[in-house]
A and B are shown apart, each in its own frame.
Chain A
Amino acid sequence: MDEGRIVKVSGPLVIAEGMGNARMYDVVRVSDKRLIGEIIEMHGDRASIQVYEETAGLGPGEPVYTTGEALSVELAPGLIEAIYDGIQRPLDKIKDRVGDRIERGIELPGIDHERKWHFEPKVNPGDSVKPGDILGIVQETTVVEHRIMVPYGITGTVRDIKVGEFTVVDVVATVETADGLRDITMLTRWPVRRGRPYAEKLPPCAPLVTGQRIIDMFFPVAKGGAACVPGPFGSGKTVVQHQLARWADSDIIVYVGCGERGNEMTEVLMDFPELIDPHTGEPLMKRTTLVANTSDMPVAAREASIYTGITIAEYFRDMGYNVALMADSTSRWAEALREISGRLEEMPGEEGYPAYLGSRIAEFYERAGRVKCLGADGREGTLTAIGAVSPPGGDLSEPVAQATLRVAKVFWGLDSTLAARRHFPAINWLISYSLYLDRLEEQISKTVAADFGDLRKEAMQLLQEEAELEEIVRLVGIDALSIKDRLSLETSKSIREDFLHQNAYHEVDTYTSLPKQRLMLKAILDFHHSALDAVEAGVEFDAIMKLEVRNTIARMKYVPEHEEERLSSVFQQIKAAFIGLTQAVGGEEVA
């Protein structure tokens, strides 16, 4: 192992000399405390090192040891239900070892090397295999079948394959390759800054169903898509991310808490083992991996945490799963980049961010996608990336938000005025968009109901109309509006309050299936149509507003999914209510 010497320490940045044999992005151990660092710049034999742990107490003259390896994660059974720091050290084991606070220089593997797993082979001796082929499986949790793949770079014939209980470092198969025999363990390593390979990238085509009405109905994200949630503090970025981690119909969730609050990770740790996944009936934790680099943890590891998370996510994608990754918040990651860049005395770009900010953000979101995986079976996997953005003052004109908007295909714009009036999720429907809408709507219309798209279009039209009408009301008062316009306003209000508004903390309201979403919106619009007809027939506006059935519509969100009859009975009630009204004015029955 080569050894260099520290010449300078400035915050998380250490400069060392005598590093001529090291390479860019090699991991090094700094001082005899063996703090973990990564080389991010080389000038001759001088290396600039970002250190992933607190550097207080380090000084010039102390040694730096190179490892010759790039920053990597361990990939094997044991990832699910884990909670890691930004460089994949298991936080539960750290607590066991050093107690409640994170100390420096702790070396712990990301995966337990001693635990045994039941390995079941899927190939036979004599089979020829290539990278990505599934050699065997391990039932990692009740819901995750961990597929052990032929590692990248190995092609040949299976000489030997075992069945039984093994640790991740035991040899489970031997493959004869052109270069001789290769032993295969369940554990592989992958450098986090390099995307894992796949056979082919494909356009995303299926919706990620989130159970969040405004998202699924108006601004859906595709499995394999990229979405961003920008918003000022307290507008609901984290709750949106938590809700998706809870309810999205994804096989695997990787949740990266990047430079945010410790308690938010604790909340996930506390809730997820208790919450039941509506799709599998099992606890949500059984499909979840957490990466937590909270805001008080070292800033350089915050930069790494995003890559650690997405590499784990890609690994499960490669098994053929639908994986969703949430990163809260990518702005903190960008700030870590800025801090290191500043210490390197690089030429700053906009607002002190390095000039390469945009390309780093683009690279991150490009690692999302729907792919044909390596392996002969041609399986597909998806990786959906959802990043929170925390713009200073909530102003989207800043560099991180701008760079993100250039690459993310879905934009859920959170709005502090909506949040202040406790309209949650505070996604502003007038500025948000999804570029997947057309493609997904076709599919949803086929699987849920043919009128899904029409309902959405009409509702969105009403909301846009509302914005214009409100403007008129502000200028000249409500009396200037026609009855029809006033109905439009009332219906829009109903769409906002009874459909878009969704309380994450209400046991029923927190999740709504697509069929129920459709029923709710259809009820609101049916009422609207009936009301328009009734007005034609001479019914008073106020009489319509007093109809009790409006209350029934408003409370549909609280009716549990399984009470289907109660939900669909609303259409009868609407009809009956209007028949009553029109008969009272002597008009004809409303169709």
Chain B
Amino acid sequence: MLKEYRTVSEVAGPLMVVEQVEGVKYGELVEIEVSKDEIRRGRVLEADGSKALVQLFEGSAGLNLATAKVRFLGRGIELGVSMDMLGRVFDGFGRPRDGGPQIIPEKRVDINGNPINPYARDYPSEFIQTGISAIDGLNTLVRGQKLPIFSGSGLPHAALAAQIARQARVLGTEEKFSVVFGAMGITFEEADYFISDFRRTGAIERAVLFVNLADDPAIERISTPRMALTAAEYLAFEKDMHVLVILTDITNYAEALREVSAARMEVPGRRGYPGYMYTDLASMYERAGRIKGKKGSITQIPILTMPEDDKTHPIVDLTGYITEGQILLARELHRKGIYPPIDVLPSLSRLKDKGIGEGKTREDHADTMNQLYAAYARGKDAKELAAILGEAALSEDDKKFSKFSDEFETRYVNQGHEENRTIEQTLDLGWELLTLLPVRELKRIREEYIEKYLPDTRPA
């Protein structure tokens, strides 16, 4: 029988102090009986002598100091995992949300997980074809990568993530992705967008969803992504599945973290976010990857909406320092009607180099990618200059670059929501655009590839 305490001495925001406790352990799960039929959960943030500081996942509203009963469960927060999770929707704390029955777990797993030994990791290098040129051609995704989408409010990040989930596949294999979806504080509509899309394509059969909506308890969001990742690890490393994890929206997660930190009156880091936010975010993002000797993999696509479209905002900045690149969406491109509005210059896939080239995509991939980048950057410079001084001020070459950058946006970056381009189509499209430039400017491409791939544009 667990000991029950009625010694709650203080409640402030998402925090609660329980006195005269015995044997309380740091990090353990707490149950708070608020009334006969309401039990809330918490976690020990500090065990100080006979006092325990507890973080309340479902907030403190309606909690009465005198009547609340507190039990310390002697274990961390756990998720019961089993293959029956597939096709199911859970709340942010892992309880069924779809009206279906409880899962009978194969086992219970602590949601914090242990760090992966770097020596046990296998380097991600399998090319994932998403069918989206700006990703496949220029910011190539590989299995086991963590590649976030940096977006802004009102930008089509949900559509892009859903399209990736729909189209992603590894060439030459028939294995399918399973999708684990973690929603933190997003609106019903946005969650519904994903769920409907998964239903429409049948992906729901292979999906596990953890959903904490905007009107669900905010602090619960701190556990939601960890629930999702625990499910993903089970599927990937015990059931050999290739799992794509979509986490949205990390910004809401970070705000919950800030709320707890502020309530504890911790010395804040930048813009009020806690100094340990880097470490905290890393403990989630680093759970992507591959492990030697295991068939499955975890590929993560976290979504962040940048407050005020600010790329240097701490949530975005710290994420960029941990993840293996980023896909940046630009409002300007969105306004021009370009979908997906991927701003390729500040976007990056750090793992692309080992995922492309002969035997993976095509031998000319790396060189043409570098060339497209350089040319687009120069074209944008030229356009900037032309905006000030007029088109006439541009040299002949710069005019060509300027035209190139326009075509690049409207033909290469831009594509349909349902358009699924093969990597060959993407690479060939790149070459086609390069014909707009003088051959001598194609310095980043080996001569042999120019001979072999550059379409002949001279009149016959």
* A interface residues, Cβ below 8 angstroms from B: 7-11, 54-61, 83, 91-92, 94-95, 99-103, 232-234, 257, 259, 261-263, 265-267, 269-270, 292, 294-297, 299, 332, 335, 338-339, 342, 348, 351-352, 390, 392-395, 416, 419-423, 473-474, 476-479, 497-498, 503, 505, 550-551, 554-555, 558
A294 touches B286 (CB 8 A): yes
Assess whether B453 is interfacial by the CB under 8 Å rule.
Answer: no
B117 touches A100 (CB 8 A): yes
Contact flag A8-B48 (CB < 8 Å), given A55-B27, A335-B278: yes
Query: 3 smallest A-B Cβ distances: which pairs?
Result: A56-B27, A393-B312, A295-B282
> Complex formed: what's the CA distance from A7 to B26 in Å?
12
Given A234-B348, A263-B351, A555-B447, 17 additional A-B pairs, CB 8 A = A7-B49, A8-B47, A9-B26, A54-B112, A56-B112, A61-B22, A83-B118, A100-B294, A262-B116, A262-B118, A263-B289, A265-B121, A266-B118, A294-B115, A294-B118, A296-B115, A351-B270
A57–B43 Cα gap in the complex (Å)? 11
Query: Chain B residues near A476 (CB, 8 Å)?
Result: 389
**Alpha-carbon distance A92/B119, docked complex (angstroms):** 6
Residues of chain A contacted by B410 (CB below 8 angstroms): none
- Tell whether, in the assembled complex, residue B124 and residue A263 are in contact, meaning their CB atoms are under 8 Å apart: yes
CA gap between A558 and B449 in the complex, in Å:
14
Most buried by A among B50, B76, B118, B312: B118
B187-195, B209-217, B320-328, B421-429: which lies at the interface: B320-328
The smallest C-beta distance from B257 to any residue of chain A, in angstroms, reads 13
Total A-B residue contacts, Cβ distance less than 8 Å = 207
A178 to B385, CA, bound (A): 80
Using known A-B contacts A59-B24, A261-B322, determine if residue A102 contacts B115 with beta carbons closer than 8 Å. yes
Given A102-B117, A478-B395, A60 and B389 contact (CB-CB distance below 8 Å): no
Chain A proximity mask over B107-133: 1 for CB below 8 Å, otherwise 0: 000001111111111111000000000
Q: Which residue of B lies closest to A421 (CB)?
A: B377
B79 located at the interface, meaning its Cβ lies under 8 Å from any Cβ of chain A in the complex: no
The size class of the interface chain B forms with chain A is: 35 or more
- Complex Cα distance, B239 from A397, in Å, reads 48
Q: Enumerate 20 A-B pairs (CB-CB under 8 Å) in ascending A order.
A: A9-B46, A9-B48, A10-B26, A10-B46, A10-B48, A56-B27, A58-B26, A60-B47, A60-B48, A95-B120, A100-B294, A232-B317, A233-B317, A234-B350, A262-B286, A263-B118, A265-B118, A392-B270, A395-B312, A416-B346
Which single residue of chain B is at the shortest CB-CB distance from A329? Answer: B321
B25's closest neighbor in chain A, by CB?
A59
Residues of B within 8 A of A297 (CB): 115
Would you call A477 and B389 a contact (CB within 8 A)? yes
Instruction: Flag if B345 contacts A234 (CB, 8 Å).
Output: no
Q: B324 contacts A497, CB within 8 Å? A: no
B82 located at the interface, meaning its Cβ lies under 8 Å from any Cβ of chain A in the complex: no
With A103-B114, A421-B377 in contact, is A296–B287 under 8 Å at CB? yes
Name the interface residues of B1-59: CB closer than 8 Å to any CB of A: 22-28, 45-50
Interchain CB contact (< 8 A) of B388 among A262, A265, A335, A474: A474
Contacting A at CB under 8 A, from B199-240, are 237
A558-B448 Cα distance, complex, nearest whole Å? 13
Asked if B269 is at the interface of the complex by the 8 Å CB criterion, the answer is yes
Q: Is the CB of B116 within 8 A of A296?
A: yes
Q: Please report which residues of chain B, range 261-300, place their CB below 8 angstroms from some CB of chain A when the two chains form the complex.
A: 266-270, 275-276, 278-279, 282-283, 286-287, 289, 291-292, 294
Residues of B within 8 A of A54 (CB): 112, 114
Query: Are B291 and A57 interface neighbours, CB within 8 A?
Result: no
CB distance from A220 to the nearest CB of B (A): 26
CB distance from A296 to the nearest CB of B (A): 4
Are the C-beta atoms of A339 and B268 separated by less than 8 Å?
no
A351 to B123, CA, bound (A): 36
With A352-B268, A477-B393, A478-B393 as contacts: A59 and B345 at CB distance below 8 Å: no
Q: How far is the CA of A332 from the CA of B275 in the complex (A)?
A: 11
Is there contact, CB below 8 Å, between B50 and A60?
yes
> Do B370 and A503 touch (CB < 8 A)?
yes
Task: Give the complex CA separation of A393 and B315 in angstroms.
Answer: 10
Flag if B117 contacts A422 (CB, 8 Å). Answer: no
A7–B50 Cα distance when bound, in Å, is 9
Q: CB distance B26 to A55 under 8 Å? A: yes
Expressed in whole angstroms, the minimum distance between the Cβ of B282 and any Cβ of chain A is: 3
- Distance to closest chain B CB from A139 (angstroms): 25
Contacts of B322 in A (CB 8 A): 261, 295
Least Cβ–Cβ distance between B385 and chain A, in angstroms: 7
